[in-house]
Structure 1
Amino acid sequence: MGRRLFGEISPLTYRIASERMILLRHLRNVRDRGSISSTRSEESLPITVYRHNSLIRRRLGNVETELQDNKAVSLGLTAPKIDGILIAPGERFSFWSLAGRCSAREGYREGLTISNGRPTRGMGGGMCQFTNLLHWMVLHSPLTVVEHHHHNGLDLFPDYNRQIPWGTGTSIAFNYLDYQVENRTDRTFQFRTWTTDEYLGGELRVDRELPMKFHIREHDAYFYEEGADVFRHNRISRIERDKRTGQVVSSALILENEGKVAYDRSLIRAEILPSRSPRRSEESADLPIA
């Protein structure tokens, strides 16, 4: 066994290590304050780039219903903090700079969190669903992702009404694991976000029509066995298409995910191959996006 890190010795040392990282990120954000988006508009920009609704309460293995209800409360508190934010040319969007620290004093509740690859509970848990939504919309735009963390080494929960490919999610922790996007275009973008009883909703909007449209495709998607374990594999590609001509301008692989399945194999709604599949094209499964 390798030597443990300071933060792995005990809950106290973990807290000390976390607070140190939070302080360091705070100092960095103060230095970069001038480039971080802070202007908000109650009026929506005229053009919708992409719109998505994310189901708040989903079947996630044995996750308690209480944690799902708590997540709904926390998402509802965060939505107004992000709603209307403008990302002007040269600016950088920082999720935690706007959302702030989740605390019971503000009304946040305990929800599902992931620690050391395992589900647990913590204040404001489930907030990664918010950055999942933002990231999915950003992938359909020319905005540039500059900070993104995710759990692609594990497939933590079975598919249930999955709308976006596995592996395109995010992992965040206040404030040192952030989700950040830069606007390197000549247009201004805007996030609109809201919650209903069932959904977390969002729109990415822009001040002028974009000449291109982006499509996300999942391919080479399959489950396979390795010893007593089951693993999941897929690739995610992004296609850029010229709106005027319909021609493909570019196509690029943006992610290749390989993760150990962390739930009972009986919940897998697909064939499990006896080994990693060499028949990638035959095992592919596209996810069409308008």
Structure 2
Amino acid sequence: MESLKPIKRTPIRIYFGKKYYRSKRYFDWVFGNKKFSMKKEDQPLKHQVFAHQTLLLRELKNVDMWLQHNKVKNLKIATQKLNKIIIRPGETFSYWRLLGNTTKRKGYVDGMVLHYGKVTTGVGGGLCQLSNLIYWMTLHTPLTITERYRHSYDVFPDSKRSQPFGSGATCAYNYLDLQIKNETNTSYQLIVYLNDTHLVGEWRSETPAIQSYEVYEREHAITMEYWGGYVRHNRIHRKVFNSDKIQIDDEFVTENHAIMMYEPLLEQETVTSKSI
């Protein structure tokens, strides 16, 4: 089981590290061999594959609500960029390739940012809720996740958690990206928008889904480390069902290891989510 320890990096190390990894990403965008999805279609594709929604405003310990309201402003801008994007066979969806940098000039405002396990603020903060949603929905489709980064810190307790721990995707422009490749023979379309209370998403396709999925966690554990803190672990799997709802596979998805920033609970519930 992987052991983690908090990392202390100097501001200079962080600054030049970001410059280096951002440069690598720009080089890949321009000179790499991936064909990125860039086009939208106003008319939604005919068949819904999976849909999910997450609450916009949540009361989090030691987090001011103005950060939550600013997050909503940032999500409105970001969803307009991604809504109705089409991923054709052979194309790759890149979260940051489509969104671009989150600057004030584009209308983004200060929102909550998690930096090495601590809550801070930054322009465009809060967009991890959108990358989390897209990742979770994609686990319920035949699309292939080719790049995803786990959260290194477990910052908030499981109050009202509806998905397994570690079933999201952290993001940071542009080096921590979420990339999804369409290795199927049909086009898919991402639908994302906000209503009064929730961030809403769908994956749609040209043809009806022939499989459905149930995502769940295994081997959940909390370990006390030699340096005095706690680390949380699990493995994410998904059951695959055919059109007759008969299970035909059980696939390993990923494993998670995160430093806990709060005292662990004595008992944890195992949470699963079935496709709809």
> Do the two structures share a fold, i.e. TM-score over 0.5?
yes
Deviations 1:241-289 (A, max 9, x none): 111x332221022233333321245xx4x527xxxxxxxxxxx724241
Q: Does 1:127 align with 2:127?
A: yes
Relative distance call for 1:92 and 1:233 in structure 2 (3 A) is: same
Question: Any gaps of 5 or more consecutive residues in structure 1?
Answer: 273-283
Which residue identity is paired with 2:177? D
On the 8 A contact 2:213/2:274 being kept in 1, the answer is no
The runs of 5 or more residues in structure 2 that have no matched partner are 1-6
Provide the secondary structure at the position in 1 that maps to 2:274: coil
Which residue pairs with 1:87 in the alignment? 87
Whole-Å separation in 1 of the counterparts to 2:146 and 2:160? 29
Contact 1:219 1:286 in 2 (8 A): no
Identity of aligned residues (%): 31
Matches within 5 A, 1:181-196: 181-196=180-195
CA–CA distance in structure 1, aligned partners of residues 44 and 11 of structure 2: 48
Deviations 1:118-139 (A, max 9, x none): 2221111111111100000100
| Partner residue in 2 for 1:101 | 101
> 2 CA distance for matches of 1:190 and 1:33?
22
Distance in 1 separating the partners of 2:214 and 2:229: 33
Over alpha carbons, which structure has the higher Rg? 1
1:66 aligns to 2:51 (yes or no): no
Q: Could you state the TM-score of these two structures normalised by the residue count of structure 2?
A: 0.88
Give the AA of the match of 1:95. Y
After superposition, the Cα gap between the structure-2 partners of 1:287 and 1:70, relative to the gap in structure 1 and judged at 3 Å, is same
1:128–1:172 CA contact under 8 A, matched in 2: yes
Moved over 4 A (4+): 222-228
Q: After the TM superposition, which of the residue ranges 256-265 and 23-32 deviates more from structure 2?
A: 256-265
SS of equivalent to 1:218: strand
Mapping of residues 139-158 of structure 1, within 5 Å: 139-151=139-151, 153-158=152-157
Once residues 47 and 258 of structure 2 are traced to their aligned partners in structure 1, the CA distance between those partners, rounded to angstroms, is 37
Residue 224 of structure 1: how far off its partner (Å): 5.6
Q: How does 1:197-216 map onto structure 2 within 5 Å?
A: 197-216=196-215
Query: What is the aligned residue count?
Result: 268
Q: Secondary structure at the match of 1:214?
A: strand
Matched, 1:180 2:165: no
CA contact (8 A) 1:59 1:160 kept: no
Amino acid at match of 1:161: K
Q: CA deviation at 1:37?
A: 0.2
RMSD: 2.4
**Structure 2 letter corresponding to 1:106:** K
Q: Deviations over 1:20-60 (max 9, x none)?
A: 33233112101248600011011100111110111122232
Using the TM superposition, name which of 245-254 and 62-71 deviates more.
Answer: 245-254
Please name the residue that 2:14 is paired with: 14
Cα separation, 2, equivalents of 1:142 and 1:223: 31
